[in-house]
Each structure stands twice: as structure tokens, then as C-alpha cells.
Amino acid sequence: MLDKKAAKKAAKKAVREASRKGTPNGLCLTCHGRPGIAVTLATGQQVPIAPVVPKRYAASVHGKFPCLTCHEAKARLPHAPIDREAQSYNDYLKGISVCSTCHKRAYEGFLHTVHGTVRELGDPRYPGCTSCHTTHAVKHTDTWTAADRALACNQCHRGAQTSFAAAATGHREPSLSWFAPTYLAERFLLLLASSVIAFGIISVELDILRWGTGRLRNRT
């Protein structure tokens, strides 16, 4: 007879094996295909979970993968209680902690964008992967039209049009070969700010020198 630890291990292995055959997705959709589901964080905060639309997921770039590819921690049924902090669970919901396991380069680029900076500053409204790419209807960006990009931006930037979306640098930092005007503008502003600070410091030092010289002259 299996002990409790071995039983859990066997159950998890069985779920993974079934997942490879594609059957657990239907099991997951029994609950996650319906609206109205929410999870409760350790703080008591209720976080709603959007339902998965099977046809949209099947047509997405991830449609061939079973649910447990991204949600391996949810293999156990019933799911374990959520013990994440709000920021950590926010990362999970917005794809930061999930998508980065496969899309490391895009994730590292994201951290250096204005959106990544908003996250680092601790603003809970920061956009994550799913904010632009959706959760279960992800399309390859090569297939996005200008209207698709504008629609993604409009989720946060109300009134954003195709011209606004065209200025987005994506997950790469601007360079001379990628959004050169933005890169040059950033460097100009950096140089300008550095110059202003430098001239300010020099001005203060000259004032101090002038004051010190005056004091010495008065003594003599």
C-alpha cells in the first residue's frame, strides 16, 4: 500500500501523463470554462479569473500545449490555497512569472521598457504579458495588424490609435538600428540633464569660492 507522499507523487505523474494526451484540458475547462470564478489571496483579496474560451485557445499559438505546461503548480486537485502576496500573484496573473520561463529574452527586454519600470516602481496597475497578448488567445506578433496593436494599447491608453501603437518599441530597448529617433531623443535628454546638473554644481562651487575669497579679503 502506497504511503501518502508516494500517492501524491503517483497522482501528479498520472495527471501529467494524461495531460500529454490532451485529456486534462477538458477537465480544467469544467471549471475554468465558466465565468464567475475568483481566488482569494492570503490577504483576503478576491481576484476574478477570466474564463477560457476553448476555440480561441485552440486557435492560439499555445493551442497545442496542455494546460499544465504553464500551470504545472495546478496539477493537484483540488488546487492548493493561494499563499502568494498580492504583488507576486499579480505577476502570475499578468504572465510575468509564467511566460518568463519560456520567453526569457522577451522578459529581460520587458524589464528595461517603460512598462517594466512601472512594475519595478510597485504600481499594481502595471501592464504585464497578458495585458497586451491576452491569456489564452495569444497570436504571434508577426500576424498582428496595425489595428490589433492599437487595440492592445487601448486597453490602458484610452483613445490610442494606430499612430500611437506604431511608436511602441516592444521588448527591445531603442538603439540606432531600432527606433533611432527615440534612442537619440533619450540620449539628448540624458546629456541635457547631465549638463544642467554639472553647470549647477559648478555654479554652486564658484559661489562658495567667491564667498570664501571675500571672507579672506575682509580679514586682511
Whether residue 42 has pLDDT greater than 90:
no
Whether 133 and 217 share a structural domain = no
Residue 1: band (very low, low, confident or very high) from pLDDT cuts 50, 70, 90: very low
As a whole number, mean pLDDT of residues 90-111 equals 84
The verdict on pTM exceeding 0.75 is no
What's the pLDDT at 16? 55
Name, in order, each residue with C-beta under 8 angstroms of 125's C-beta and a sequence gap of 6 or more: 118, 156
Whether 91 and 41 share a structural domain = yes
Whether residue 162 has pLDDT greater than 80:
yes
The proportion of the chain whose per-residue pLDDT surpasses 70, expressed as a percent, equals: 86
Whether 76 and 43 share a structural domain = yes
Mean predicted lDDT score pLDDT of the chain: 82
As a whole number, mean pLDDT of residues 115-123 equals 87
Whether 59 and 91 share a structural domain = yes
Q: CA–CA separation, 11 vs 31, rounded Å?
A: 20
Whether 121 and 199 share a structural domain = no
Whether residue 144 has pLDDT greater than 80:
yes
Whether residue 57 has pLDDT greater than 60:
yes
Range of the domain at 182: 177-220
Residue 191: band (very low, low, confident or very high) from pLDDT cuts 50, 70, 90: very high
Whether 203 and 161 share a structural domain = no
Whether 149 and 200 share a structural domain = no
CA angle 54/55/56 to nearest 5° reads: 95
Whether 118 and 107 share a structural domain = yes
Q: CA–CA separation, 163 vs 196, rounded Å?
A: 33
**What are the Cα distances from residue 125, in Å, to 18, 116, 131, 135?**
37, 11, 10, 17
Q: Which of 83, 60, 81, 65 is nearest to 28 (CA)?
A: 65
Which of residues 170 and 187 earns the better pLDDT score? 187
Q: Which of 125, 1, 21 is nearest to 66 (CA)?
A: 21
Whether residue 68 has pLDDT greater than 80:
yes
Whether 110 and 217 share a structural domain = no
Whether 140 and 194 share a structural domain = no
Count of the separate structural domains present in the chain: 2
Q: CA–CA separation, 156 vs 147, rounded Å?
A: 15
